[in-house]
Structure 1
Amino acid sequence: MLIDPSRSALLVVDVQTGLMPVIERADQAVTEIAWLAAVAEHLAVPVWLTEQYPEGLGPTEPRLRDALPQTVPVFIKQHFDACRAADFVAHLEASERRQIVIAGAEAHICVLQTALGLRQRGLEVFWLVEGCVSRRLDEAKLARERLLQAGGVAVSADMVAYEWLETCSGETFREIHRRLLKPRAGRPLRLAP
């Protein structure tokens, strides 16, 4: 199945200042998530943020937050699974988005539990490999494997962007290619094992 821009959203889970210093490949994850969020913005694909107990873990990483419009909703949560937060569930249901591209930290805790919660609700979940990170790479890999067993799909940021774009014709592709795709092309992509 392809990821349809009219049916999908990008959900960024707990990329917070208190977590990032201890997360392996945090810088790459923030860069990739911010880049994909910029593509999403150009294509009118919604971006949603969660923050786990921000009083203790801090706000969303500034580099990511600064890359997003101020209107991006932020859902504050106490449960590891965002699907247990009533305001998030209400927003999700009202959006009618059935395909969720998920990224964030920690992959084996909040990202995985949220992804499994989304799967339980019958949604298609796409695990952004380079954007789902943990303190240890083994934990992120194990979380990805568990989601795949539950019916999720592993994707890269490029896969998502080009599926959202659908075609190389038209002004939308030319604008995104000039501003976002082309400058990124020379950068090596290192996926978590």
Structure 2
Amino acid sequence: MLYFLDCNVFVAVANIGRLSTKDSVLFLCDMQEKFRPNIFQFTNIVSNAARVLQASRILGIPTILTEQYPKGLGPTVPELGAGDLTAHAKTSFTMIIEEVEKELKALGSPKQAILCGIEAHACIACTTYDLIEKGMEVHIVADAVSSRSQTDRLFALSRIKQSGAYLTTTEAVLLQLVQDAKHPNFKEVLITSAQHASHLSQTAGY
């Protein structure tokens, strides 16, 4: 909440949640092989997250990747296109583990988080609460977030919104980050990221 002096009266102006490439970090949560057959709309969730990841690379936004108990749940699915990233293994229902805390500090403690992955009512929700408590602004990419059931997904998104996070979509995130059709990376972000995500999915055989 910001305050401005107008005619000797302080007027409260709500934070509108405008995304910026300068102080953001992308979180990719637990999109792993063993979840594939059980997560609602898994293929679409991963495809949208892949678009956000590719756009983040183009725009220079750092990315943090986690895997939930990879020994039992397997590695991150290849069609996400995150093979070059170091995955932080965890068992907790939050991405904000010690290793991630260190990575955030090394990145200069960014103020905005863009969050994709699974499951909405578990790791996505817990990560959101922790990030908000750290003073970060959280943007949940709703079409890149899911659970095993649509009921858990929808109620989790509603609960997360109550906590102060912003709900958005893949396309909305990309447009907010470039801001203008004249942006030098506009076509690359909007078109190439979609083509890249499609290619990864086809290469992975899904």
Equivalent residue for 2:22? 6
Structure 2 segments unaligned to the other structure (5+ residues): 1-16, 198-206
- Kindly state the Cα deviation for residue 183 of structure 1 after the two structures are TM-superposed: 9.3
Equivalent residue for 2:179? 166
User: Which of 89, 113, 122 is the matching residue for 2:101?
Assistant: 89
Closer, same or farther: CA 178–152 of 1 in aligned 2, 3 Å: closer
SS at match of 1:82: coil
Number of residue pairs aligned between Structure 1 and Structure 2 = 180
- Kindly state the Cα deviation for residue 73 of structure 1 after the two structures are TM-superposed: 3.1
Deviation digits for residues 83-104 of structure 1 (CA, Å, limit 9, x no counterpart): 2x11111111221211111111
Equivalent residue for 2:159? 146
Closer, same or farther: CA 146–183 of 1 in aligned 2, 3 Å: same
Counterpart contact for 1:38–1:68, Cα < 8 Å:
no
Counterpart contact for 1:7–1:99, Cα < 8 Å:
yes
Deviation digits for residues 123-178 of structure 1 (CA, Å, limit 9, x no counterpart): 10111101110000110111111111111010001111011112211432243345
User: Which of 18, 38, 61 is the matching residue for 1:22?
Assistant: 38
Alignment partners' CA distance in 2, 1:20 and 1:150: 28
Cα-Cα RMSD: 1.8
Structure 1 segments unaligned to the other structure (5+ residues): 185-193
5 Å-filtered alignment, 1:36-115, equals 36-64=52-80, 67-68=81-82, 70=84, 72-83=85-96, 85-95=97-107, 96-115=109-128
Closer, same or farther: CA 81–174 of 1 in aligned 2, 3 Å: closer
**Partner amino acid, structure 1, of 2:172:** M
Equivalent residue for 1:190? none
Counterpart contact for 2:52–2:193, Cα < 8 Å:
no
- Kindly state the Cα deviation for residue 44 of structure 1 after the two structures are TM-superposed: 0.7
Alignment partners' CA distance in 1, 2:118 and 2:193: 24
% identical aligned pairs: 26
Alignment partners' CA distance in 2, 1:175 and 1:111: 28
Equivalent residue for 1:156? 169
- Kindly state the Cα deviation for residue 46 of structure 1 after the two structures are TM-superposed: 1.2
- Kindly state the Cα deviation for residue 68 of structure 1 after the two structures are TM-superposed: 3.2
Counterpart contact for 2:120–2:156, Cα < 8 Å:
yes
Counterpart contact for 1:81–1:113, Cα < 8 Å:
yes
